[in-house]
Amino acid sequence: MLEVETESPSWVPTFPLRFLNLASCSLNKKNGHIVPTFISTQYLLSLLDLSYNSIEGSVPCQLLFNMNITNLYLSGNKIDGSFLDCSTNGTSLLESLDIFDNHVKGALPKNIGYILPRLIRVDMSSNALEGSIPWSFGYPPLHGVDLSHNMLSGTIPQSLTRTGTRLILLDLSNNKLQGQMLPKDANMTMLRILHLSSNHFGGVISPAILNSAYLLILDVRDNNLSGNIPEWLYDHSSLVALILGFEGHLPRRLCQMKTLQGLDVSHNRLSGDIPSCLDNITFWNKSSPSLTYWNHYIDKLVLQYPYLFKDDYIRSFIPSETQVSFFMKNRLYTLKGLPLLMMTAIDLSSNQLTGRIPSEMGELSQLRFLNLSNNSLTGSIPISFQNLRSMECLNLSHNKLRGKIPSKLVGLTSLSIFSVAYNNLSGRIPFECQFSTFTS
């Protein structure tokens, strides 16, 4: 690892800096990993990245209120104490702030939105923040907000979701938020990604989502939401990933969601049959969009919302911090960027589903991940599964399946995980072709 020392002997650049990236440089190891003192003299510095350097102490106020720094990245350090634990009468010029994965604790200042009035992107995830989200947080022209994996409580302030908000990404997952999923008058017309999982939201899935016509990812699992999936959600024209917690049945109307690529309704109390019409969903049974298509969309998005992207080289259809997790290949995988976009997945595991596996599911030739484990499915493994050419992980374990393992499944050359354990299967286990790569 590169080591950079700026204090002993003292080092000052001989020319004014505009950009400084010292991430993962074991910065000032001999001097307690302190922030370089020469930064206070850099009056043209607009971007500073000191991520992953074991920097300790409170959030450096001299960086937040520097004359020209607009992009500040301090993720992966050991910063603790309260946020803005310093006295100031001024306002910050920061447009992008990243303090992800530190130890910042306590409540956010009630006037945070007025102190940081130009914020466009903020990532304070994976800290120890408590209390409610201040009303003033909705004052800056925010495009991307990630406050996930903290201990925030209370409700989502109306100011953050009001008419005119520019939010594209809102991630408040893994907190202690409660009340309605979204304020009644929420009107986030530009929203693309909404992560609200692992909170204490009650009631039903908020109909205010209808106002977010371009929503791509909706994740509201692990809450106290009740009832079935609302009928209007099936008419949403742009959803790519849907991750829900609810009870009831999987209705046939699900099959009209043509843009769906990822469906995760695992660990619920779903009962009844699996709809036989899932092959109607375009992204699962036809060629997925090419990288050329995605790259064109990426270029357009980066030009339109440059501050959502930490670095120019990050080419991600959605903001770089956006992620979705799937349990596959015997572990939890978190996907970001293009891997997330190219993922096609169905996870119906750990429910109370019954009946046979529809043979039509064998037509989902673009599906990469299918988990039907821990249900009460009966019948045989469909022979049509030999057509799942893109399948990488197929888990049918812990059901009541009978019959043989179809021999032609050995031709699925992309398959790396195959589990049919804890069923009532019989006959020979095939070991040819792709199956010869598996352990016993």
For residue 298, the one-letter residue type is: I
pLDDT, residue 234, reads: 86
pLDDT, residue 279, reads: 83
Phi-psi region of 28 (alpha: psi -120 to 50; beta: other; left: phi over 0): left
How do beta strands 323-328 and 331-336 pair?
A: antiparallel
The architecture of the domain spanning 345-437 is Alpha-Beta Horseshoe (3.80)
pLDDT, residue 201, reads: 94
Q: Are 410 and 434 in contact (CB under 8 A)?
A: yes
Residue 334's beta-bridge partner residues? Answer: 325
Q: Which two tokens stand for residue 125?
A: 């995830």
Residues of the chain below pLDDT 70:
1, 87-88, 286-343
pLDDT, residue 60, reads: 82
| Cα separations in angstroms, 147 against 121, 139, 144 | 11, 16, 10
DSSP conformational letter for 7: B
**pTM for the structure as a whole:** 0.85
Domain ranges for the chain: 345-437
pLDDT, residue 294, reads: 45
Question: Which residues fall within 8 angstroms of residue 10, CB to CB, at 6 or more apart?
Answer: 37, 38
| Cα separations in angstroms, 73 against 335, 392, 434 | 22, 36, 45
pLDDT, residue 343, reads: 64
Q: Which tens digit of pLDDT belongs to each residue from 48-69?
A: 999 999 888 888 888 888 778 9
How do beta strands 128-131 and 151-154 pair?
A: parallel
Q: Are 243 and 197 in contact (CB under 8 A)?
A: yes
Kindly write down the DSSP assignment for every residue of 12-60, as one continuous string: --SS--SEEE-TTS-TTGGGTSPPPGGGGG-TT--EEE--SS--EES--
Q: Which tens digit of pLDDT belongs to each residue from 258-308?
A: 888 888 899 988 999 999 998 888 777 765 554 444 454 445 444 444 444
Token pair 């599964």: residue: 385
pLDDT, residue 287, reads: 57
Distance of alpha carbon 125 from alpha carbon 74, whole angstroms = 12
Token pair 């003192």: residue: 37
Distance of alpha carbon 146 from alpha carbon 167, whole angstroms = 11
Q: Which two tokens stand for residue 80?
A: 């603790």
Q: Using DSSP, how many helices (H) and how many strands (E) does the chain show?
A: 5, 30
Question: Which residues fall within 8 angstroms of residue 299, CB to CB, at 6 or more apart?
Answer: none
pLDDT, residue 117, reads: 94
